[in-house]
């Protein structure tokens, strides 16, 4: 697929750690929706959920054959760690970081940008909907 795809991601955790979910919205270069994902994941922290949302989004984009992707997250920590501005201190995040950085090498171009929560409404809703959809909570 040609052009720069836009991917909005979010992770949510209730309890931190607690029940967790991810939300992903993938748009093509003309802002047409390609895919949306709302998925419950293992109980974890909010930061791990954010990382898992990015990892799942990368895998999904690669399955779709996208070569140039701009990821958007409302997690400043995730954006700054992946972009090399912050060190990773949480041991649970380090293996996810390594996996993500390796998978990002598969793209011709990629960016990850921090955006305000109000610009990430759909991914946030998808992450929170995962709680209702998968076990009635």
- Which pLDDT tens digit goes with each residue over 31-82? 999 999 999 999 999 999 999 999 999 999 999 999 999 999 999 999 999 9
- Asked if 13 and 44 touch (Cβ cutoff 8 Å), the reply is yes
| Predicted TM-score (pTM) of this structure | 0.94
Angle at 58 between CA 50 and CA 116, to 5 degrees: 45
Domain count, the chain: 1
- Asked if 128 and 85 touch (Cβ cutoff 8 Å), the reply is no
Domain that holds residue 110: 5-135
Question: Residue 21 is part of a domain; what is its CATH number?
Answer: 3.30.420.10
Print burial letters for 14-36: b (CB count within 10 Å at least 16), e (below 16). eeebebbbbbbbbbbeeeeebbb
The rounded Cα 17 to chain-centroid distance in angstroms is: 18
- Give residue-wise pLDDT tens across range 103-136: 999 999 999 999 999 999 999 999 999 988 644 4
Among 8, 73, 54, smallest CA distance to 34 is for 8
């Amino acid at each position: 697929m040609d052009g720069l795809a836009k991917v909005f991601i979010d992770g949510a955790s209730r309890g931190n750690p607690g029940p967790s979910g991810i939300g992903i919205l993938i748009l093509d270069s003309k802002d047409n929706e390609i895919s949306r994902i709302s998925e419950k994941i293992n109980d974890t922290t909010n930061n791990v959920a954010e990382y898992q949302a990015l990892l799942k989004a990368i895998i999904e984009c690669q399955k779709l054959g996208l070569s140039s992707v701009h990821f958007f997250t409302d997690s400043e920590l995730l954006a700054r760690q992946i972009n090399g501005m912050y060190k990773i201190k949480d041991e649970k995040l380090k293996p996810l970081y390594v996996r993500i950085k390796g998978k990002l090498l598969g793209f011709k171009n990629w960016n990850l940008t921090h955006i305000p929560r109000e610009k990430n409404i759909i991914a946030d809703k998808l992450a929170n909907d995962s709680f209702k959809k998968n076990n009635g909570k």
